[in-house]
Amino acid sequence: MIIQKRNKITKVHWLLLLPLLICVSTPLVAAQSGTSANPFDTTLIVPDTAAVAAEPVTDLTVADHRYDHGEKLDLTWVPSADDPPVGGTVVGYRVYRIADGSEPVLVAELPPGTNHHTDEGTSADSSYVYFVTSVTTSAEYESARTEAIVPNVEWLNFDKKYLFLLALIVGGSVVIFIETARRGKKLFVRKIAGLEAVDDAVGRATEMGRPILFIPGILDMDDVQTLAGLTILGRISRVIADYDTRIFMPVSRSLVMTAGRETIKAAYQTAGRPDKYSDDMVTYVTDEQFGYVAAVDGIMVREKPATVFLLGAFFAESLILAETGNYIGAIQIAGTARPAQLPFFIAACDFTLIGEELFAASAYLSNEPKALGSLKGQDVGKAIAMAVIILGVVAVTIGEAWQVGIMNDLTDILRAIFSTM
Amino acid sequence: MANIGIIISLVIIFGGLLALLIRSVKSKEVDRRVIFLFIFVAVAAPILFPVTFSEKASPVVKAIFNKVESLPAGSKVLLSFDFDPAMAPEVQPMANAISRHCLYKGHKVIFMSLWATGQALLTQSLQDFILPGFPEKRNAVDWVNIGYKAGNEGVLNVIITDFRKMFPTDVNTVPLDSIKIFDDIKSCKDLDLVVSIGGGKPGPKEWILFVGDPGNVPIGVGTAAVVAPQLYPYYPAQVVGILGGVKGAAEYEYTLKETHSRFADMDTPGLRMMGPQTLAHVVIMSFIIIGNIIYIAGRRREKKRR
Amino acid sequence: MKRQIPLFITFFVGALLIFSVFIPPMESAGENFTLFFDIIAVFAFFLGGGNLLRVHITKLKRRKQDWPFSIVTIAGFAFMLTVGIFKIGNPGGIAASVTADGSWFQEVFNYVLTPLQSTMYALLAFFVASASYRAFRAKNREATILLIAAFIILLGRTPFGLMVTSWVPESLSVLQIPNLAIWIMNSPNLAGQRAIIIGIGLGVVSMSLRLILGVERTYLGDDSG
Amino acid sequence: MDHLAVWVAAFLTLGIISFLYKDNPWYKLSEAIFVGISAGYWFVTLFWDNIYGKFWVGKGEDPMLWVGAALGVLMLLRLIPKIGWISRWPLAFIVGCTAGLYLINYLSSNMMRQVQGTILPFFSSQFGSGFDATAYTIVGNIVVAVGTFTGLVYFFFSKEHKGAFGGTARVGIFFIMLTFGASFGYTVMSRMSLLIGRVDFLFFDWLGMIK
């Protein structure tokens, strides 16, 4: 690695002498540069006996990049006079950076016709000078150097002001509603069919004397769907502890195993049955997607659980698991936020929590005012989305159909606010 | 032999389905293992005894076919293989079929790729599938492979004004200036048709946005099945036609075989793969119908009992 | 204290990461997390792998049902660990990549794991059929819509889709089954997906806030609410 | 070697497929092999990539790596029951990070971008001149806007699905069901391709070899 770097520097250093050498001995340089200074791709080299000349680029300027922490600088220039759309001698440009007066370093090779570049390798505590060379098939020609510049560090990214605003409104209303609920105001939340069924599903397992199987998806703790699955697990295992039913949870990630154990243990403690809890309720199988599925399928047909929960992030295995669960006659409650897998759960499970309902489930099951309050906050976000869709569609339709300027302005504003950058 | 095999299998499949259909009126559920067996036979039989269904080309496929068909001999067509080995099973068949069609019609064909891994695939499919059928076609005169250049849509931005800037030479480092096809081609605007085959980025969409629209060049696209719906909004204003997945390839192959006797014995991987697909789809649809009959019959019975 | 410290950690890092999006010098915080996470996951595997071994050894010791298969699992696990960590049967020796061509490790991946994976995956072909047989029944209005949409799409992917509707005039070609299938994928399907996706986005916001604010804390071994 | 490999692959392939009939020792054996081998495979790759690759080859230069390692060690304290509760710290850390990261990500990419994409004109002078294309686009855009709006109404939690609101929610659920039916049907083909691949292997690579 280190050796490579050094090589590069010496090569570049040597290249800088090229223009000078050309004056002295043109044929020699042409032959040399053909072998050692390799402009981009080998296919580009057209053997040539004389050095091909080109004008350097002009008006090279460097400016600070907006909203970075000093790691970027923007360069602009006017392309070489020998780089017209057709038939120029320039085959590309090279950008060189000189940091704090040290040796120039090649930072980019660009195709012809380019007039700008963003260097992403700077830091805020150095000063930089740049120059650009026009590369022909046999040599390169240096431009004037820029003024020295020290990159600025910005502390706030104002490009993301609308994102911040929306996060503030949506997040703020969640917090406000949680606070309202904490003060004791009653909040209404409609019934969610799949969640109404949880108690019955657990009760059924108790009656039948069969275990309950809980699958938290196949992703790790760094996915929010797994977290949603685990929070629901917390609520469900409270009920399970009360009913004194067996729960079994094979997992495909070690961290989920640890978190799953903590969750169930806590639920049993709260229910006053810590003696009933055992680490064997949660077991690790394998990280491999289909290896895990093979094992869970085996568990399903052998243990014949009465109730199966599939709550978390699922991929192609969704239907394999759900069909096997259906085959053994288990009541199945599934939920995922992966739209591609929802159809399969809808087809094979008794109840399916569709996307948002998965995240709302633990709040709903807890029946705690605070948690329910957060669902209200979500609805504010939905109301905003709905209002913007109506407003936007009306504005853009009127604006485009009848060329109404003010409506077009409104559309542009809405699109700008909801653009993610 | 193959014919007898497939006839027996078809009789078994459809006879079985009919029997189940009759049984379903009595509202008797089908064991899922029976369904599994049907699926297995429906997939395995056409693989063992290759069977092809007639694939009438849908308008979007027909449109590309007709475009290639109607261009006068000597027209300049560019085919871009914008895919990698992972995508190849789905789009390679259509790439082969279109390439053959273009060569057969006497078009001057330029092959290229926007994907680094596509160049090897392109060179190989030219060698193995496409060129062996056309020994009379000469490199640089009837076709040329200019290979891959890095830069994604940047490549397109350059070749819309000048090929030689991006591709000074073809894959064998022969300068474009000494390649006959390029005598009167300066940029993409001089082409009579561009077909981009791929499914990712850069791919068909980039060709439409960076070459088709600005240069007013007719663009045809071939793509993986999952991507196809996203390209439909561009039809017919911005693209000539769309081949979607193996099915699109099968339709193209079928039309090609029907239209030109030269291709009667052509290898048709698309059609071959559609055999098991079609049968499996038919089996699933039959079972949906059977399931509904069972449900309706069962409900009637319950009513009667009351 | 046992409960307060974890709650504080969650709150602190959660809030920090939210604000880091808007503060350029902190932009790399998210990437750092991925780095942390990968390392923690490896350490956690000692717990997971240990658990796997413990479960199967217990099964073996107590001669529980199907115990002979536990020997196979333990043997397979141990084999992969030794072959992989000590690079046994690797033509390049200990210096080569563990997945070098021709190494035992890679051979087992190619000839044992790959066929197992793809066959398990292929089972979906069967389950797709049995699920559609059972689920696509016109039990109520919603189920009927599900059924019709699925049927049109299925039909559109066979040659019969075009045959059935070939009488439709060219000016109304949108109504031909294959085109109708495409239209369904593009318009109503897109609308449904959008509603679901927007809902998910808001659900995540609310769920994340509950976690960060400590309203949701079951995973921390504290359910006292 | 090749012969043996194909036989092993075929043996395991059939073992898995046999599960479709019912659970049996052949499947159990394939399953046991699958679980043992794959768990080992994952650990070995994780080890070489993350521990060896980052701490040995990369010399652990990034101080952040050591923070990760420290958290990992805390995780292992679970094994000591007395101070096992400390292992909640790395868990709390991971949960906090995940929640913080996803909040903004999902808000921008799921909610904002999708809302923006729905702002489409019902009618515009810019649409294609042909009647067909125009009608197609108009109907398409109306359906997208109406479907998205009613779908959101369905997800609304604060109001019972009754009256006009309930009716709108019903339209929403229709759209969602249509979506599910369509995506289900659309996936069948790719699922069949997987089976075709396996059957191909059995017939040609394995049985073809016997011939």
Residue B68 has pLDDT above 80, yes or no: yes
Positive or negative CA dihedral for B34, B35, B36, B40? positive
Contact D189 B277 (CB under 8 A): yes
**On the CB side of B120, how many CA atoms lie within 13 Å of its CA?**
5
Task: Provide the pLDDT confidence category of residue A379 given band limits of 50, 70 and 90.
Answer: very high
d(CA A149, CA A70): 11
A111 → closest Cβ in B32, B154, B161: B154
B288 → closest Cβ in C147, C162, C176: C147
The pLDDT value given to residue D34: 96
d(CA A226, CA A218): 8
Average pLDDT over residues A227-243: 92
Residue A172 has pLDDT above 70, yes or no: yes
Q: How far is C24 from chain A (nearest CA, A)?
A: 5
Contact D157 A378 (CB under 8 A): yes
Contact D175 C191 (CB under 8 A): yes
d(CA C147, CA C139): 10
Q: How far is D158 from chain A (nearest CA, A)?
A: 5
Amino acid at D149: F
Q: How far is B284 from chain C (nearest CA, A)?
A: 6
Q: Which residue of D has its CA nearest to A253?
A: D39
The pLDDT value given to residue A420: 63
Query: Which residues does chain A have within 8 Å of residue B158's beta carbon, measured at their own beta carbons?
Result: 111-113
Query: Which residues does chain A have within 8 Å of residue D122's beta carbon, measured at their own beta carbons?
Result: 393, 397, 401
Contact C196 A355 (CB under 8 A): yes
D111 → closest Cβ in C49, C202, C219: C202
The pLDDT value given to residue C166: 78
The secondary structure of chain C in percent helix, strand, coil, rounded to multiples of 5, reads 75, 0, 25
Domains of chain B plus CATH, in order, are 2-53+271-305 (no CATH), 59-260 (3.40.50)
Q: With a cut of 70, list the residues of chain D below it in pLDDT.
A: 1, 60, 124-134, 209-211
Better-scored residue on pLDDT, A314 or A120:
A314
Asked if B223 reaches chain C (Cβ–Cβ under 8 Å), the answer is no
Contact D174 C187 (CB under 8 A): no
Domain A58-142 has CATH 2.60.40.10: yes
Residue ranges per structural domain of chain D: 126-211
The pLDDT value given to residue D124: 65
**pLDDT tens-digit map of B274-301:** 989 999 999 999 999 999 999 999 999 8
Strand order across the A140-142 sheet: A105-110, A92-99, A128-135, A140-142
Task: Provide the pLDDT confidence category of residue A27 given band limits of 50, 70 and 90.
Answer: very low
Contact D107 A227 (CB under 8 A): no
B278 → closest Cβ in C158, C176, C179: C158
Asked if C29 reaches chain A (Cβ–Cβ under 8 Å), the answer is no
Q: In 3-state terms, what secondary structure has residue A224?
A: helix
Asked if A285 reaches chain C (Cβ–Cβ under 8 Å), the answer is yes
Q: Return phi, psi of residue B96, to 5°.
A: -65, -45
Chains that touch B (3 or more CB pairs under 8 A): A, C, D
Query: Which residues does chain A have within 8 Å of residue B154's beta carbon, measured at their own beta carbons?
Result: 111
Q: How far is D175 from chain B (nearest CA, A)?
A: 18
> How many CB atoms sit inside 10 A of residue D186's CB?
24
The pLDDT value given to residue C28: 78
Asked if B165 reaches chain A (Cβ–Cβ under 8 Å), the answer is yes
Q: Which residue of A has its CA nearest to C118?
A: A290
Residue C216 falls within a domain, yes or no? Answer: no
Distances (CA, A) of B125 to B75, B83, B105, B121, B177: 22, 13, 19, 6, 25
Looking at every residue in chain B, the average pLDDT score rounds to 88
Q: Which of A101-105, A142-146, A225-229 has the highest mean pLDDT?
A: A225-229
A254 → closest Cβ in C41, C55, C135: C41
The pLDDT value given to residue A34: 35
D149 → closest Cβ in A255, A258, A389: A389
Residue C69 falls within a domain, yes or no? Answer: yes
Structural domain including C68 reads 1-79
Contact B32 C133 (CB under 8 A): yes
Asked if A329 reaches chain B (Cβ–Cβ under 8 Å), the answer is no
Q: Between residues 151 and 210 of chain C, which touch chain D (CB distance below 8 Å)?
A: 151-154, 157, 171, 173-174, 181, 183-202, 204-205, 207-209
Are D88 and C40 spatial neighbours (Cβ–Cβ below 8 Å)? Answer: no
B59 → closest Cβ in C160, C163, C173: C173
Q: How far is D211 from chain A (nearest CA, A)?
A: 32
Q: What percent of chain B has pLDDT over 70?
A: 99
Residue A15 has pLDDT above 80, yes or no: no
d(CA B219, CA B194): 5
d(CA B288, CA B290): 5
Residue A2 has pLDDT above 50, yes or no: no
**Cβ-based neighbours of D68, under 8 Å, separated by 6 or more:** C35, C36, C37, C38, C39, C40
B175 → closest Cβ in A46, A111, A112: A46
The pLDDT value given to residue A21: 38
Average pLDDT over residues A153-175: 88
Q: Between residues 110 and 169 of chain A, which touch chain C (CB distance below 8 Å)?
A: 153-157, 160, 163-164, 167
d(CA D118, CA D95): 33
B282 → closest Cβ in C158, C163, C179: C158
Asked if A49 reaches chain B (Cβ–Cβ under 8 Å), the answer is no
HEC per residue, C98-154? CCCCCCHHHHHHHHHHHHHHHHHHHHHHHHHHHHHHHHCCCCCHHHHHHHHHHHHHH
Look up tokens 């950058």; give the residue: A421
Chains that touch D (3 or more CB pairs under 8 A): A, B, C
The pLDDT value given to residue B224: 86
The pLDDT value given to residue A45: 39
Task: Provide the pLDDT confidence category of residue A288 given band limits of 50, 70 and 90.
Answer: very high
Better-scored residue on pLDDT, A88 or A79:
A79
Q: Could you tell me the mean pLDDT of each successive run of 10 residues in chain C, 225 residues long? A: 85 92 82 84 92 95 93 96 89 81 88 93 95 94 94 90 81 79 88 93 94 86 48
Same domain, C31 and C66: yes
Per DSSP, helices labelled H in A244-350 are 254-270, 289-303, 317-327, 342-348
**pLDDT tens-digit map of B133-184:** 898 988 888 999 998 887 777 788 888 888 888 888 888 888 888 888 998 8
How many angstroms from the chain centroid is the CA of residue C110? 22
Asked if A272 reaches chain B (Cβ–Cβ under 8 Å), the answer is no
The pLDDT value given to residue A352: 95
The pLDDT value given to residue A12: 38
Residue A171 has pLDDT above 60, yes or no: yes
Residue ranges per structural domain of chain A: 58-142, 198-349
**pLDDT tens-digit map of B233-274:** 777 778 899 998 888 999 999 999 999 988 888 888 888 889
> How many CB atoms sit inside 10 A of residue A331's CB?
21
Contact A85 B161 (CB under 8 A): yes
The pLDDT value given to residue D211: 53
Region A198-349: CATH code? 3.40.50
Asked if A204 reaches chain C (Cβ–Cβ under 8 Å), the answer is no
Query: Which residues does chain D have within 8 Å of residue B48's beta carbon, measured at their own beta carbons?
Result: 203
Chains that touch A (3 or more CB pairs under 8 A): B, C, D
D71 → closest Cβ in C40, C113, C200: C40
Contact A44 B168 (CB under 8 A): yes
Joined together, the tokens standing for residue A240 give 């399970």
Residue A30 has pLDDT above 70, yes or no: no
Mutation site, C182, C187, C193, interface B, largest B CB count within 10 A: C182
Same domain, C33 and C93: no
Asked if B3 reaches chain A (Cβ–Cβ under 8 Å), the answer is no
The pLDDT value given to residue D126: 58
The pLDDT value given to residue C221: 64
The pLDDT value given to residue A13: 42
Q: In terms of Cα–Cα distance, which of C180, C157, C117, C68 is closest to A315?
A: C117
Look up tokens 């073996």; give the residue: C60
Query: Which residues does chain A have within 8 Å of residue B168's beta carbon, measured at their own beta carbons?
Result: 43-44, 46, 91
Residue A150 has pLDDT above 80, yes or no: yes
Residue A19 has pLDDT above 60, yes or no: no
HEC per residue, A8-28? HHHHHHHHHCHHHHHHHCHHH
**pLDDT tens-digit map of D47-67:** 888 888 788 777 767 787 888
**pLDDT tens-digit map of B98-144:** 999 999 999 999 999 998 888 888 988 898 888 888 989 888 889 99
- The predicted complex's ipTM stands at 0.89
Same domain, C2 and C75: yes
Contact A258 C44 (CB under 8 A): yes
**Cβ-based neighbours of B250, under 8 Å, separated by 6 or more:** B52, B55, B93, B268, B270, B271, B273, B274
